[in-house]
Amino acid sequence: MILLTCPNCGQRNVSEFRFGGETVQRPSPTETTRATWAEYLYMRKNVLGVQSEWWYHGACGCWFIAERHTKTQEILETYFLPEK
Amino acid sequence: MASSISMQTHRLPPAPSQIINREKVVTFTFEGKEYSAYEGDTIASALAAAGITTFSRSFKYHRRRGLLCCAGNCPNCLVQVGEEPNVRSCVTPAQQGMKVGAQNVFPSLDVDMMSSTQLVDRFLPAGFYYKAFMRPAALWPLYEKVLRNAAGLGEVDTDAQPGYYDKVYKHADVTVVGGGLAGMQSALAAADADARVILIESEAQLGGHLRYSGQSRGETAVHIQATSLAAKVAAHPNIEVMKNTLAFGRYDHNWIGAVQGNRLIKLRTKSLVVATGAYEIPPVFENNDLPGIMLGSAVRRLIHLYGVVSGTTAVVVSANPRGLETALKLIRVGVKVAAVADMRAELDAELVAQLQEHGVIVLPQTTVIKAESGMTRLESVHLRSLDGCHQREVSCDLLVLSTGFMPANELLLQAGAKVAWDETLNEFVLASLPENVFAAGEVTGSHNETDIVREGELAGLQAALAAGFDGNNRAQSLRLRVAPLQARIDELQTEIKQTREQRTAWTAAQLAEQAGKKDFVCFCEDVTSKDIKQSIDEGYDSMELLKRYSTVSMGPCQGKMCNVNALRVCAHYNGQTISETGTTTTRPPVKPVMMGALGGRLMEPVRVTPMHDWHVKRGAKMMNAGVWKRPEHYGNPIEEVRAVRERVGLIDISTLGKFHLHGKDVPALLERLYVNRWRKLGVGRVRYGVMLNNEAVVMDDGVTACLRDDFYYMTATSSGASSVYEWIESWLQGGWKLDVHLLDATELRAAMNLTGPYAREVLQKVCEGIDLSNAAFPYMHAREGKVAGIDALLLRVGFTGELGYEIHVPSGYGLHVWQALMSAGKEFGILPFGVEAQRVMRLEKGHIIVGQDTDGLSNPLESGLEGLVKLDKEDFIGKTSLVFASEYGIEKRLVGFEMPDGTLPEEGNQIVRVGNGPIGLEIIGRITSVRRSPTLNKVIGLCWLPAEMCDVGQEFSIRVRGELKRGRVAKLPFYDAEGVRLNS
């Protein structure tokens, strides 16, 4: 069981979290095509290496992004979606 | 009692290293006969003391098998104890009254008729079950029955009662697995550096092989050294020792699974030190499985720990100093040593001299090639010089094998460590370790005590350093000149590097060509070198394939006895080196773990509402609704329906998801979450909404009330509450820059639905501050006021189809308000009602239940919700997918139906038509909800049908309990279509 660092609560067992999938950009709903939309819904890169992905921490209700190596399970960084 | 003690014919006089208490005797039975044991004995040591040599019959050929490893590794001593199969008798304490039986024997251990299988072994080659029993396929059930009886491991008692299993979570800076010399040194070094240390030992005492090696250092026996080191460990305030504990798995980020009796331990450690030692392994030669053939470590364990020796004349075959030491020990306890064969050219001169003083023949560069059996056990061995020039047969009833070791490196391999075959040592040694994982002692290939002590200290210090303890604080606080950890680490590393280069082999290279028949590589699965050769000849020449085909290493020992030998034989027949052959993958558990321990106790949380105890007292039949307990009914759900339809009823709906939404952008949020319009919902209004996921699948439904311009109150389904919260937050935190604050108020508020024609009259008696008249508080409106003196939010909604008020109050007052309403309703004949009555009434109204009537593929256009969906809205979640999906047209629909003949189908029954299915029927739909309506006195329901069959009056066939019944599409809702009652 890996450890994840919730930006609010600190390091916890992954059993407290839910995986939210790779980060993806939602296409503009007014301009999208079937292919783009299908890509957004279903196609994932599934990289062997560092991946940015969403995680939800059930204990505090926060969604954050983790940079995780999919093979070594090293967590390089966790952070909230930056304010732009 | 005295007579049974006298049966212990193979017991030695007392000695200090023994762990048995001769004052306390227990009795148990083995194969129906009574045996005695001393406190501290294992089942196996007690049986060996009584002269038992056959403990089991082998898996395939039913050959006699006796004690081999005495360390809980090999399969030879597996027995059935009471209802528990596959008990390792060599590590299981003998207890009063135990009923021990042999496994896999017919009719008995001594007369096993299945042993005749070895006479026909040419019909049982490797992979025989892939070949022999395949045709005709129809006979497989018969084959399977015969094979399962002939093979198999023990019997599961299907009537066994579940035991008590426990679970504990632990945390440590440094965890050391293995309480031998290296492990104890590691633990002390790390603990001295201020790390909190957990030391896990699989046996009952610390000390590892020192406890039974029989060696001395100067005047002091090493088991005394072990005891004093163990006392130091036990006294250290930073060390927690866990004995009788098996660390069975190392998972990501140093998460350790361990089991101690019936208790599962989940341990998170910053650093891990693996000091699990090495398994002594047997060489491969003809009849190497006969009872009377034992590993040197097993012989020493029996002598030193239990005072038992199982033989009178021994031959020792050795490849390291421990073999010669064992020979000397045997002489000292009165066993005649007929010969010592050592595979090495240069032997330890002092040990050889001592042996020769006792008149023992010592044969260098000699090994064993064959064993011969008498009636029940070993009778003689054939020794041959490595050059093949000299051969002799020596009579003996005990053959001691000290020819090799395999590192017990499972945890390291699970952690991602790499090993490499060392041609000099004839062992696997560590090539690399992952971060925060360290190793010390025999597991690294070091068998010399000085090396082991150094490695122990080094690993302990490295582990402490990796866990964040650099030794500086300690040096300062103690005002001592303690060297910082790094300096000592450097020093030790230099020393170890020097001695590593001088390590000598403790494991012999085996004869390349194996002699003949029944030379067992794998004792668990009865795999011989011939089987391995045959598998390779058939093309299964890589280790992973070979393993799966021949089943070598796939039995209870999981390769502990056979991995290296299988590799050697495989490498030989492939003409490769062992490095080129490569190993198989190591996975948890290291040793078998009881399923009960992994399953543990039922730890699922249960949620109850504030009115729970009232329901129970009132005799409610409680049901599980997700994690919630809810009343299904209070005895008579039909009467409950009648009460609501004719008078008034009250249901606990505290389980609903309840959310406070604050902020000026709430309407914008609702527009995006729901399929319908929200911007123009005025203060005091309530609206029903449906949420879709990104794929336009119906996700949840509920009502939302606008209480102020910037404060809304949302409800979600009971089962959807937490996922709806998570869902909304994913959008709020995932980039929608909306001024909305979402609060999950599910547990903050109790809620109840007061419903029925007299609901208003009942509420009137206890409600203050709200004009309840239909004009002032109409259907789908919300009001705030007091109910029974408590601040309450009232939503006038109607899931049941009657006039109704949802009353939401602070949780702590839920019971109070509930009781006040029940009292107020008494004169109107109020009844509490449960989930079942509510389900009937909502079905009469044609309301769907998301997740029951819809599934993970249902979009709202199909689900009878098309009237709600506003595709002309700018955007809502699921809209894009819904637009694309609707372009394909609607293929199926959720519709209402009735049963003209009154049959009551079951939910989930299939709707079929004549077609190409396996019984001439094609499934075209299914029933999702069905009830006999007490109000309408007919069977009604909801079902999925092909879109072209959805016209009202259309008939279709339902497969009900194997028979075809007619259903007919009906108009929804079934009850009060005009909504007169809701609006009254």
CATH of the domain at B678: 3.30.70.1400
**B459 and B382 share a domain?**
no
The pLDDT, as a whole number, for residue B2 is 43
Note whether B72 and B591 are within 8 A (CB): yes
**B414 and B326 share a domain?**
no
Residue in B closest to A29 by C-alpha: B880
**B979 and B899 share a domain?**
yes
The pLDDT, as a whole number, for residue B125 is 66
B178 lies in some domain: yes
**B121 and B175 share a domain?**
no
**B358 and B437 share a domain?**
no
What residues are paired with B919 via a beta bridge?
none
Burial of B889 (0-12, 13-18, 19+ CB in 10 A): exposed
pLDDT in tens, B413-443: 999 999 999 988 999 999 999 999 999 999 9
CA distance B526 to B520: 6
What band does B219 get if pLDDT is binned at 50, 70 and 90? confident
pLDDT in tens, B440-454: 999 999 998 899 999
B630 lies in some domain: no
Mutation pick from B256, B264, B436, B880 vs chain A, by most beta carbons of A within 10 Å, is B880
**B459 and B579 share a domain?**
no
The pLDDT, as a whole number, for residue B128 is 64
Nearest to B251 among A1, A30, A63 (CB): A1
- Contact check, Cβ <8 Å, B734/A13: no
B302 lies in some domain: yes
**B107 and B25 share a domain?**
yes
CATH of the domain at B365: 3.50.50.60
* Four-residue CA torsion sign, B7, B12, B14, B18: negative
| ipTM given for this complex | 0.96
Tokens of B293: 């053939």
Nearest to B880 among A37, A54, A58 (CB): A37
Note whether B803 and B615 are within 8 A (CB): no
Would you say residue B374 has pLDDT above 90? Answer: no
pLDDT in tens, B325-343: 999 999 999 999 999 999 9
Q: Considering its fold, how many domains does chain B have in total?
A: 6
Percentage of chain B exceeding pLDDT 90: 75
B873 lies in some domain: no
Q: Which of B344, B373, B403 is the last residue of a domain?
A: B403
**B412 and B274 share a domain?**
yes
B624 lies in some domain: no
- Contact check, Cβ <8 Å, B729/A56: yes
The set of residues, in sequence order, having a beta carbon less than 8 Å from that of B766 and lying 6+ positions away, is B787, B788, B820, B821, B824
**B576 and B706 share a domain?**
no
Would you say residue B3 has pLDDT above 70? Answer: no
Would you say residue B262 has pLDDT above 80? Answer: yes
B287 lies in some domain: yes
CATH of the domain at B560: 1.10.10.1100
- Contact check, Cβ <8 Å, B252/A34: no
- Rg of chain B taking only CA atoms, in angstroms: 38
Would you say residue B889 has pLDDT above 70? Answer: yes
In angstroms, what CA-CA distances link B681 with B143, B818, B976?
Answer: 72, 30, 26
Give the gap in angstroms from C-alpha A60 to the nearest C-alpha of chain B.
Answer: 11
User: pTM for the complete prediction?
Assistant: 0.87
Compute the count of residue pairs across chains A and B with CB atoms less than 8 Å apart: 50
- Rg of chain A taking only CA atoms, in angstroms: 14
Q: Which domains does chain A have, with CATH numbers?
A: 3-79 (3.30.2270.10)
Give the gap in angstroms from C-alpha B234 to the nearest C-alpha of chain A.
Answer: 30
Give the gap in angstroms from C-alpha A49 to the nearest C-alpha of chain B.
Answer: 16
Nearest to A32 among B722, B734, B880 (CB): B880
What residues are paired with B633 via a beta bridge?
B621
Give the gap in angstroms from C-alpha B457 to the nearest C-alpha of chain A.
Answer: 28
CA distance A34 to B611: 50
**B121 and B11 share a domain?**
yes
The pLDDT, as a whole number, for residue B216 is 75
B159 lies in some domain: no
Spatial CA neighbour of B725 closest among B702, B755, B752:
B702
**B413 and B268 share a domain?**
yes
CATH of the domain at B85: 3.10.20.440
Q: Which of B403, B420, B436 is the last residue of a domain?
A: B403
- Contact check, Cβ <8 Å, A56/B884: no
- Contact check, Cβ <8 Å, B875/A29: yes
**B375 and B424 share a domain?**
no
- Contact check, Cβ <8 Å, B268/A3: yes
Domain that holds residue B527: 520-597
Lowest mean pLDDT among A16-25, B575-584, B614-623: B575-584
Q: Which of B730, B745, B760 is the last residue of a domain?
A: B745
- Contact check, Cβ <8 Å, A41/B881: yes
CA distance B770 to B763: 10
B471 lies in some domain: yes
